Structure formats: structure tokens, C-alpha cells
Amino acid sequence: MSTRPARTLETFPNPNPERDYRIHMRIPEFTCLCPKTGQPDFAVLTLDYIPDRLCVELKSLKLYIWSYRDAGAFHEAVTNRILDDLVTATQPRFMRLTARFHVRGGIFTNVVAEHRQPGWRPAPSVELAGFEAEPNTRD
């Protein structure tokens, strides 16, 4: 197999750095190992960010996420590490990583970690009456 997991995150220049816009990614196949039992943990990751000068390249993100498949990690630690690595690579204006782990021992775990660039403030939200997102774009 020529494609292998990697901890390298590649970036490309933001094509519209003059504008705040949201990039939303849903990563439904995240896996890592429980550091106590060695059993697999499964999660859906949701990444939302407002880029500054750089955006994360998707293939490198896929290989980066794949690199956790055989790694032991607590939910809280792995969520924060992924966020830290993404922030280091892209230096976004804002980034939020939500990790929704599947049930283990009767407990669902959701971990939400955020980063805000110092001094950055979001623009006020605009609500459009009667507008609904397309069904396949919802979280």
C-alpha cells in the first residue's frame, strides 16, 4: 500500500483571507485505542474553523487522523492534541474540534476543544427566515 498514516499536516494558502468564512468538516471514522484496555474507541470528529492565512489540506488530514488508529489515548487528551496540531499547522482565527465518542461501558463521551486567535472577534450572526440547510450538510 502506497498511502500510509502520517503525523504531518500540510496546508495551502487561504484563497480568501480578507473574509471570515467557516470551513466545516465531519470525520466519521476516527479510531484510537483505549490506553487502559487496548480496545478500539470510535468517534465522529467535527472540525469547524475560520482560517487566517492557511487551510489544512484534506489528504494530509485524512492520513493524520488515520495515524491514531493504533495509538492509545484518552478521549480528552487525543481531542486536545489533534486541535493543538491543527492550530500549529494552520494558525486559524478560530477553530473548534468536537469529538463524539461511541458508547463504551454505557457512557457516551463528547469532548469539545476550542482555539481563538488573540484579538479575533466573530462577526454577528445573520439569521435568514425560512432558510434551512440541505439535509446532507447537517451535523
* Catalytic site includes residue 70: no
Q: Residue ranges per domain, the chain?
A: 14-120
Decide if 32 is catalytic.
no
- What fold characterizes domain 14-120? GTP Cyclohydrolase I, domain 2 (3.30.1130)
Quick one: pLDDT at residue 62? 97
Q: Looking at 34, 48, 52, 85, which residue is catalytic?
A: 34
Ramachandran angles phi, psi of 135, nearest 5°: -55, -35
For residue 49, give Cα distances in angstroms to 42, 58, 100: 23, 14, 17
User: What pTM value is reported for the model?
Assistant: 0.88
Give the mean model confidence (pLDDT) for residues 26-47.
96
What is the mean predicted confidence (pLDDT) over 75-102?
98
- Cα-flanking dihedrals φ and ψ of residue 79, to 5°? -60, -45
- Indicate the length of the chain as a whole number: 139
pLDDT 10s digits, 93-129: 999 999 999 998 899 999 999 999 999 998 888 888 8
| pLDDT of the residue at 55 | 98
Q: How confident is the model at residue 138 (pLDDT cuts 50, 70, 90)?
A: low
Question: How many other β-carbons are positioned within 10 Å of the β-carbon of residue 99?
Answer: 25
CA terminus-to-terminus distance, the chain: 32
